[in-house]
């Protein structure tokens, strides 16, 4: 191999490795303890408390390669369907193509596999003049507020994100993103996803991001209607 070709491959390998990131996230319960929430019915309270405790069993991975990324629950198949932490934190995998600005997820509903495409959430983030360091990276704070009507009353909910401008990927846990940097910590009313490890370039595993391609292609807004049709066919309540 001549010197010019060697330099070309060497520089290419550096560029390739620097375009890869692999992050590990944990999740924990956040906010007021459920035992003191008077809006929760007593008969379902034990199940919700079990969900919160089982959150500690879960770890998630966010893999990034160039303009593609994949968020998934680790060791997903080892958890039984009765594991309540999955219900609370979610076990859906999210593939994102930054060029196409499109998420892809796969959902199985009564043995019907769907390949769901969705656009990124339109989140009206409010930037806050606060910083903190997470795993050696300086992060900035952003919040967004939403109001929901619950039992005739309007209640405000706040989601808080800490994002790292140095890691210039506009994504984060699950399908959250839209900030000028990777979200390393995300907190909503009940859960907090927080990054525990960041591997860059050659330190990452030899992963290959595979774009999901199985299931009936469908848009997110059409998926609920498709589930309703299947429920009718199965004789299930659907309203």
In this prediction the pTM is 0.82
35: pLDDT confidence band, cut at 50, 70 and 90? low
* Residue with the two structure tokens 């993103």: 177
How confident is the model over 50-59, as a mean pLDDT?
Answer: 83
What radius of gyration do the chain's Cα atoms show? 20
How confident is the model over 58-63, as a mean pLDDT?
Answer: 95
Handedness of CA 34, 38, 44, 46 (dihedral sign): positive
Structurally, the chain folds into a number of domains equal to: 1
| Cα angle: 96, vertex 197, 31; to 5 degrees | 80
* Residue 238 counted as domain residue: no
Is the pLDDT at 222 greater than 60? The verdict is: yes
Between 33 and 69, residue with greater pLDDT = 69
Between 93 and 35, residue with greater pLDDT = 93
Strands 153-164 and 216-219: unpaired
How confident is the model over 46-65, as a mean pLDDT?
Answer: 85
Four-CA torsion 165, 171, 174, 175, nearest 10 degrees: 140
* Residue 194 counted as domain residue: yes
Is the pLDDT at 100 greater than 90? The verdict is: yes
Percent of residues, the chain, with pLDDT higher than 90? 49
Is the pLDDT at 72 greater than 90? The verdict is: yes
- For 170, which DSSP code? S
Domain span including residue 123: 3-233
pLDDT at position 174 is 95
Count of CB atoms situated within 10 Å of the CB of 23: 25
* Residue 239 counted as domain residue: no
pLDDT per position as a tens digit, 184-208? 999 987 889 999 999 998 889 888 8
- The per-residue pLDDT of the chain, averaged, comes to 84
CA distance 51 to 124: 30
224: pLDDT confidence band, cut at 50, 70 and 90? confident
* Residue 8 counted as domain residue: yes
- For 164, which DSSP code? E
Is the pLDDT at 59 greater than 90? The verdict is: yes
DSSP bridge partners of 187: 160, 192
Q: Name the token pair of 18.
A: 């620097």
């Amino acid at each position: 191999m001549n010197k010019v070709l060697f330099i070309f491959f060497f520089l290419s390998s550096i560029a390739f490795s620097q375009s890869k990131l692999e992050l590990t996230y944990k999740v924990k319960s956040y906010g007021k303890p459920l035992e003191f929430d008077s809006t929760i019915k007593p008969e379902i309270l034990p199940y919700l408390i079990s969900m919160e405790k089982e959150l500690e069993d879960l770890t998630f991975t966010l893999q990034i390669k160039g303009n593609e990324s994949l968020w998934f629950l680790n060791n997903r198949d080892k958890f039984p369907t009765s594991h309540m932490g999955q219900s609370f934190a979610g076990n859906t995998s999210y593939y994102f193509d930054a060029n196409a600005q499109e998420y892809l997820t796969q959902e199985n509903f009564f043995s019907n596999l769907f390949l769901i495409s969705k656009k990124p959430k339109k989140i009206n983030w409010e930037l806050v003049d606060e910083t903190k360091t997470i795993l050696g990276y300086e992060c900035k704070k952003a919040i967004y507020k939403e109001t929901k009507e619950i039992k005739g009353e309007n209640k405000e909910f706040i989601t808080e994100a800490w994002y790292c401008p140095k890691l210039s990927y506009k994504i984060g846990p699950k399908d959250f993103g839209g900030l000028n940097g990777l979200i390393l910590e995300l907190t909503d009313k009940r859960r907090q996803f927080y990054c525990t490890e960041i591997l860059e370039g050659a330190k990452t595993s030899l992963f290959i991001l595979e774009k999901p391609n199985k299931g009936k292609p469908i848009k997110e807004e059409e998926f609920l209607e498709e589930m309703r049709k299947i429920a009718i066919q199965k004789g299930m309540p659907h309203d």
